Structure formats: C-alpha cells, structure tokens
Structure 1
Amino acid sequence: MVQSQAPWPCTNVVTNFRCRQKSTKYRSLQTEDTEQQIIRETFHLVSKRDENVCNFLEGGLLIGGSENKLIYRHYATLYFVFCVDSSESELGILDLIQVFVETLDKCFENVCELDLIFHMDKVHNILAEMVMGGMVLETNMSEISTQAEAHSKMEKSEAGIAGAPARAVSAVKNMNLPEMPKNINIGDISIKVPNLSSFK
C-alpha cells in the first residue's frame, strides 16, 4: 500500500484463493486478531469481484471506507493488494504492483507461492527498497534487485562471521589426532593447549 496519511496500517497484502496470507506488511503494530480481520475483509472485497472489472475499489470498514482504495492485481493463484488514500493514482499503483511482481520474479527466478512463504524476509526487503513510510522510493527493477541482493549478501556474511568460532571449535574437535598435545613449544615460547573436551 502506498499511502500518505491513510489510517489503514497495512502496506500490502499477498494472499491466495483460499485467503491464506502469504505476505503482509503493516506500517504500525496491530494485534494478530486485527491483522486477520483486515486480511479477511480485504480478501472478501477483492475475491468476489469479476475478472472483467477494474482493479481498484473503495476500502471496507477496517480499511478506512471511502477514504481509501484497494488496488490489486491477480496473478495465477495470488492477489497482490495495495491500500492507498483517495488522492493516489490508480494506474500508478497498478504499475507499482507490476514492478513489484516482476522484481520478485527476477530475484527468485520464476517466483512461486513457496518463495513468498519461505523467503518472506527477502520479499519484505524488496518491498522496502520500493516503498517506505508510504512513499515510493524506487521503481527501477535493476536497482531494486541489486540492492536486495546486496542486502542478502550482507546478511549471509554476518551469519558467517557469527558462526565462525563454533565452526573452528568443531573443526579442532573433529581432528583425528592420536593424542592432543598439552603444550606447544616454539623456540622460547611455550603455549598451553586448553582442554577441548569442555567445549562438547
């Protein structure tokens, strides 16, 4: 959802035919019950519409009524829904949804429902590169993909650094030495080897 001052707290909703939420991003904290009510109301409003009608409609009670609009696109088994205030351009938001879906497809190489389920953090990173605080920041797919990949690489490298000490201890434990030396002498330097059995 791209919104200026709209009261509805949800940025976007991705749901399937059975109203199973795949990805939702809220601008403010909501109770789980409120979130589920918003999802149900949004799904009810969008799913009952015919395929040959326009892709935007007035918001429901929880969504802010006539103050807000739901703008959606339907791809295969998924609905991508953005909520915007009444001053936003419907066609601009439809284009934004298209860019979002194409970027997901590019980043996941033929995106599917399971990608959205198992990589929700990456989906939210892509969306955050596009929209933040209700403002559209970027619509260039290449730039969005580049930034999302850089973020993923940074997360992986941080995870690798955090796990390095444990991997080092594990490697030493798995060494098949006939007997672990108690002291290592290198010239005038004597190093006492700690007991590694305490690390198990």
Structure 2
Amino acid sequence: MTIRAVLIVNNHGKPRLTKFYSQLPSARQQALIRLIYRLVSKRPDGVCNFLDAPELTPLLPPPSDAVSFSSTSRTAPSSGSGSGSGSGTNTANAARRSTRGETSDRSNQDELRVIYRHYATLYFVFVVDQSESELGILDLIQVFVESLDRCFENVCELDLIFHFDEVHAILCELIQGGLVVETNINEIVSAAQTTSRARKTSAATTPGGGGLASFVPSATSNLSSLTPSSLNLGFPGSPGWGNGGSSSSSSGSGGGGGGGGIAWPKGTFMVDALANLGSQYLGGGSRGRGRYGR
C-alpha cells in the first residue's frame, strides 16, 4: 500500500517533524508519537533498524484512497469427467480457499512496520506496511537526511525547528500521498531551493507583505522624523491626543488619537501607562499624564 507516517523525534521524545498520510485526530497522533518513541528508544544501537509493530495497526488505518498491491490468485476451472455437481462443489471450495488467501494477504499487509535511523540526537522514523521494502526505506531515509544537509549546510535540530516549512517542502519532494515520487538528491535540493527563492521573492515584492520588517526604519532614515502623527498611531500623551487628529483639522474621521488613530478610553491602567510613555519619550508634557504619572 503506502507509507503511513514520517516522524522526526529527538532523544527526549519531542517531535520535530510529524507527517501522517491519514486523517487522524490530534489526540491519536500524540498517542502514536509516544508509542513509536517507546518502541525505537529502548532498542540498543547494535540491533537492526526495523521492527514489526502490530500494536500500531488499529491506531493508524490506511488512507481511504490507498492502492493495494496484493496479488489475486486465479482458480483454473476443473477439467475431468466428473459429474456436474462434483465439479460445482470443487469450484466453490477453490473459491473459498482463494477468498481466505486474499483475506490473509490483506491482513498481513495491514500490519505495520517501523523503520528508523538514529542520527546524533534525532530519530528519523518511517511507519510503513508489509508491502514496502525495509532496505529501500532505509535508503530513502538516507536520501532525506542528505537532502536536508545540503539545503541547511550541516543540518541540526534547530534547523528543523525554525525552518519547519522548508523541511516539509523537502519531504513533499520525496513523498506525496504516502508514495515515493523522487529519490534523486540533486533534483530534490534544486526543487526545494527554487521554492525557497520564489517564496522570498514574493515576500519582498508584495506591498506590506514584509510583516514587522515593513515598519522597521532603514539605516539611512531619520529617526527624529518618526512621530505618532506620521505613523498614524494615537498614543496617549502624543501630539494631537484628544484633538481628533490634526490640530488644524476639526473634521477628522472618528475622534480620538492623533493622526486619526484609535479613540482610546480614558481612566484605565493600560491607557495611563501608555500616557506616561508618551509623555516621557514623545515630549507630551503633563497633558497626557494619568493618575500613575509623576
């Protein structure tokens, strides 16, 4: 069938990447992560890197659109000079045996297997069914790790934490829907780097798409020119506070803060604290001091 899940867990059982290819509730996902970590963490380093895990089968069902690769045995019609009733009985018995064999093959394929590798402080774990090759999955884990290492230059646990979106993009280049789609490291790294460059270019060219960076002044800007009225912020204690915007205009849209800002309610602790900050750093004088000002 398919690969059921891909996990990266550190030595303390903290998940750094989780990808389940079946729709599961969050509580079951957490239970699976704990169970898989218990299975792989208690194994010594000298043993093989895959183990049968039938206890995972009821918790991790196959996807609804999973493709089954089980071979169906065909029963040849019986030939001979026997009577019609005898021939029909033999055919029925053969059909029942074939059905039992297919059911047995399907149940065997539904049993899950855990294949993992331990690198430094991280466990790379793949949960697969019986139709997958253990050695092939071990090679796939090596491809995944080398792709991460090329993209992040000596990848570490912190890279997985702070660049989780890029890690998921690299994994999607390897596996989609539980099926392996690419194993060439050069192709995987090239596609991941192209996606990263396109994302950065889009963020740089989108107006106002830079988040907090769009509000940070450049090194050549004059910091003294940044005032609450120019930033359209209605801080208590700032020039224009309580005048409904500019002092020369009395028909601003909405009363309250300077430069058409928010009409802050008076008499609360937070507003008084902001008034003190405005008085201290913006030169508002005693006009904006509240009952907590000095």
> What range describes the TM-score normalised by the shorter chain of this pair?
0.7 to 0.9
Q: Compute the RMSD of aligned alpha carbons.
A: 2.9
Match of 1:28 among 22, 36, 41: 22
Partner SS for 2:24: coil
Instruction: Report the Cα distance in structure 2 between the residues aligned to 1:74 and 1:165, rounded to whole angstroms.
Output: 39
Residue deviations 1:58-86 (CA, integer Å, cap 9, x gap) = 12523459711100000001100001110
Opposite residue 156 of structure 1, the aligned amino acid is K
Partner SS for 2:188: helix
Residue 135 of structure 2 corresponds to 91
The answer to whether the 8 Å contact 2:56/2:112 transfers is no
Is 2:141 the partner of 1:118?
Answer: no
Partner SS for 1:52: coil
Identity %: 48
Opposite residue 95 of structure 1, the aligned amino acid is D
Residue deviations 1:81-106 (CA, integer Å, cap 9, x gap) = 00111011100000000010011011
| Higher-Rg member (1/2) | 2
The size of the alignment, in residue pairs, is 175
Which shows bigger deviation, 33-42 or 154-163?
Answer: 154-163
The equivalences for 1:72-111 within 5 A come to 72-111=116-155
Deviation at 1:57, TM superposition (A): 0.5
Partner SS for 1:95: helix
Residue deviations 1:114-160 (CA, integer Å, cap 9, x gap) = 00111111111001001111111111111100000011111112212
Deviation at 1:199, TM superposition (A): 9.5
Deviation at 1:56, TM superposition (A): 0.4
Instruction: Report the Cα distance in structure 2 between the residues aligned to 1:198 and 1:94, rounded to whole angstroms.
Output: 62
Deviation at 1:29, TM superposition (A): 3.2
Partner SS for 2:56: coil
The answer to whether the 8 Å contact 1:13/1:24 transfers is yes
The answer to whether the 8 Å contact 1:13/1:23 transfers is yes
Instruction: Report the Cα distance in structure 1 between the residues aligned to 2:178 and 2:209, rounded to whole angstroms.
Output: 41
More strand by share: 1
Instruction: Report the Cα distance in structure 1 between the residues aligned to 2:174 and 2:8, rounded to whole angstroms.
Output: 16
Q: 1:161 to 1:93 in 2, by over 3 A?
A: same
Q: 1:173 to 1:15 in 2, by over 3 A?
A: same
Residue deviations 1:8-65 (CA, integer Å, cap 9, x gap) = xx52000011100010111133222111101000000111111111100012523459
Instruction: Report the Cα distance in structure 2 between the residues aligned to 1:198 and 1:158, rounded to whole angstroms.
Output: 31
Partner SS for 1:33: helix
Instruction: Report the Cα distance in structure 2 between the residues aligned to 1:158 and 1:198, rounded to whole angstroms.
Output: 31
Q: 1:5 to 1:110 in 2, by over 3 A?
A: closer
Partner SS for 2:55: coil
Which shows bigger deviation, 95-104 or 10-19?
Answer: 10-19
The equivalences for 1:23-172 within 5 A come to 23-64=17-58, 67-163=111-207
The answer to whether the 8 Å contact 2:148/2:170 transfers is yes
Partner SS for 2:13: coil
The answer to whether the 8 Å contact 1:19/1:40 transfers is yes
The answer to whether the 8 Å contact 1:56/1:70 transfers is yes
The answer to whether the 8 Å contact 2:114/2:128 transfers is yes
Instruction: Report the Cα distance in structure 2 between the residues aligned to 1:46 and 1:32, rounded to whole angstroms.
Output: 21
Partner SS for 1:114: helix
Q: 1:50 to 1:161 in 2, by over 3 A?
A: same
Structure 2: 5+ residue stretches without partners: 60-107, 226-258, 263-294
